[in-house]
Amino acid sequence: MGTGRLARDRLGNARRNFRHGPVSHGSKAEETGVGGRGGRLAARRITSSAGGSDGQLNPISFNIMNLIPIFGLGLAILAESVGAQGTLALTSASGYRPRITLDGVNAGTNIKVELLVAGATALTYASSQLAVEPFAVNLRGVNAGLFSQGLVVVAGVAPGTTADVTIRAWDSTSGSTYLTATTKDSTRFSYVLGGVGDPPSLPGLIVAPSRYNGLSLITSTPICLPEQSNLPEPGTWALSALGLGGLLLFRRF
């Protein structure tokens, strides 16, 4: 008898034992409930718990069981996307405190400042969860020209990422937005976002010669050309004198 035939015979015997029970009533299979009446009862219990009385698997239960790992994967992706939020310290009132100036004077409340981060889906303040909108430079006295807005959450950009950051300012009396203003300035720099680890790490300063180094706004003044004079040019006077002299000389002769 070949090996393949022996394997087929053993498989057939196993199927008959499960359906009709083993030949010997004292077999170990009957005691353990694998075959015979015990096996059939166990099979009915298993199939009836997941399907109907006919022992067939309920399609609805089967679909739900298939969706469980998909649903778990979706939760994992959602958790990862929520966690992909770096942080940035939006303050210039630290380090060597570079200022925003307007015509050489420290800026006042008429100067608006805006933060942009490449790849960010949203910018919110960590303390209030409010969106980061253009804000006025409202510090006074020795802090004039500085801003201190606190910790900003950068949604959509992972912690520890080197982000492309732009800070721009404009005189709101020359335009309501940066694009429409005529008096404005901006700077762009690379910055490593905080929020790495648990607890999340704090971000570094934006203030540095290679990062934010202040802004200098210059009021643009129109160039006025001098008004044209009605006086004739010197060349006209010279030509007139030569003509008159020639006429007198001609009459003399």
Q: What is the pLDDT of residue 72?
A: 45
Q: What is the pLDDT of residue 247?
A: 59
Cis peptide before 232 (omega within 30 of 0): no
Q: What is the pLDDT of residue 251?
A: 57
242 C-beta neighbours (distance < 10 Å), count: 10
Q: Say if strands 85-91 and 100-102 run parallel, antiparallel, or are unpaired.
A: unpaired
Q: What is the pLDDT of residue 220?
A: 74
What's the pTM value of the predicted model, to 2 decimals? 0.58
Q: What is the pLDDT of residue 205?
A: 95
Contacts of 114 (CB under 8 A, 6+ apart): 134, 167, 168, 169, 178
- DSSP element (H, E) containing 193: none
Strand stretches in 47-121, DSSP E: 85-91, 100-102, 105-106, 111-117
Q: How far apart are CA 107 and CA 113, in angstroms?
A: 11
Q: What is the DSSP string of 113-146?
A: EEEEETT-SEEEETTT--B---EE----GGGTT-
> How many Cα atoms within 13 Å fall on the side-chain side of residue 19?
6
Q: What is the pLDDT of residue 214?
A: 97
Rg (CA), the chain: 43
SS3 58: coil
Tens digit of pLDDT at every position of the chain (253 positions): 455 555 556 556 655 554 555 444 444 444 444 444 444 444 444 444 444 445 454 554 445 445 445 444 443 443 344 457 999 999 999 999 999 999 999 999 999 999 999 999 999 999 999 999 999 998 999 999 999 999 999 999 999 999 999 999 999 999 999 999 999 999 999 999 999 999 999 999 999 999 999 999 999 765 555 555 555 555 555 566 666 665 555 555 5
Can you give the residue ranges of every domain in the chain?
3-79, 84-217
Residues β-bridged to residue 124: 131, 153
213 C-beta neighbours (distance < 10 Å), count: 16
> Among 167, 156, 153, 162, which Cα is nearest to 213's?
167
Q: What is the pLDDT of residue 138?
A: 87
Q: Say if strands 135-136 and 148-155 run parallel, antiparallel, or are unpaired.
A: unpaired
Name the token pair of 192. 């490593």
165 φ/ψ angles, rounded to the nearest 5 degrees: -110, 140
Name the token pair of 8. 């087929």
Name the token pair of 159. 């912690």
Contact present, 190 and 211 (Cβ < 8 Å): yes
